[in-house]
Amino acid sequence: MNRSTLAYLYGFAAVCLWSTVATAFKLALNHFSPLQLVFVAVITSITSLSLILAYQGKIGLLCSQFNQRPLFYLQTGLLNPFLYYLVLFKAYDLLPAQQALSLNYTWAVLLPLVAAPLLKQKLRTTDILAASIAYAGVFIIATGGNLASFTFDSPMGILLALASTLFWCLYWIINTKDKGDPIVSLLLSFLIALPFIFTTLMFTDGMPDLNPQALLAGAYVGLFEMGITFVLWLMALKNCERTANISTLAFLTPVMSIVFIALILKEQIASATYIGLAFILSGMILQKVLPKLCDKHMPIKP
């Protein structure tokens, strides 16, 4: 099997697993509060990532990478998993899975808008156009298609779903400065976040119910949202000839997720969700395609 085929197999496996997690979030939240789910999922992810690093012979890198930049890993740990997943799970707790999924997926069009001032990058007109189209989709989903009403079923849920995209973008922007092993860095972030998650849990919701069904749901989220799937995606990128070829697989995730939401959660998928998600995906595609089609595009300085 050549490396290109292997890359696609790793990438497709990651996409398939990520496509199930929106459904898994809702099922797990039947047993846990959002913070309790973060706690169980993070412990599971720490365990799985530790085993992977032990197999790779890289456990020794934990101390050396941390000692080089302790404050860096404190920042990343507080952003992801603590703040990002707490806010995201709360959004899923308040919204139908189809809405939370679609709104969270706008992080890709938000990323260049946030990166422009923070990384001193030029903002392209294509980024503005893509964001405008994607956030039109957000408005369609948030209003349930009633564009003239300006009424929202759960304003807090919508706000949290959109806030989660900001935390995710900030996390990835900070990570552009990370030169260490990516799996080691992810595990360090989770290890550092765990005491903060545990302390907050003790002062708020208390320890989660540890019955087998609840643990299975939380462990699934930890393994296939935070842990193993991340490694599969890294393997896909490592083996691919062109990153763009693999990254386009990510567009399958929300579409496949909607199928799982409909089949397993039995949510009636609203027409506004289909239309809004089409806008969001169109914005993401334009963001990738238009710069390559245009010989010249006029940048807008932030």
User: Per-domain residue ranges for the chain?
Assistant: 3-293
3-class SS letters over the chain: CCHHHHHHHHHHHHHHHHHHHHHHHHHHCCCCCHHHHHHHHHHHHHHHHHHHHHHHCCCCHHHHHHHHCHHHHHHHHHHHHHHHHHHHHHHHHHCCHHHHHHHHCCHHHHHHHHHHHHCCCCECHHHHHHHHHHHHHHHHHHCCCCCCCCCCCCHHHHHHHHHHHHHHHHHHHHHCCCCCCHHHHHHHHHHHHHHHHHHHHHHCCCCCCCCHHHHHHHHHHHHHHHHHHHHHHHHHHHHCCCHHHHHHHHHHHHHHHHHHHHHHHCCCCCHHHHHHHHHHHHHHHHHHHHHHHCCCCCCECC
Averages of pLDDT over runs of 10 residues in the chain (302 residues) are: 79 91 95 95 95 93 93 93 96 94 88 84 82 88 71 83 93 86 93 96 89 91 90 81 69 89 93 90 80 50 35
- Per-residue confidence (pLDDT) for residue 301, from 0 to 100: 35
Say whether pTM exceeds 0.85.
Answer: yes
Amino acid 179: pLDDT: 83
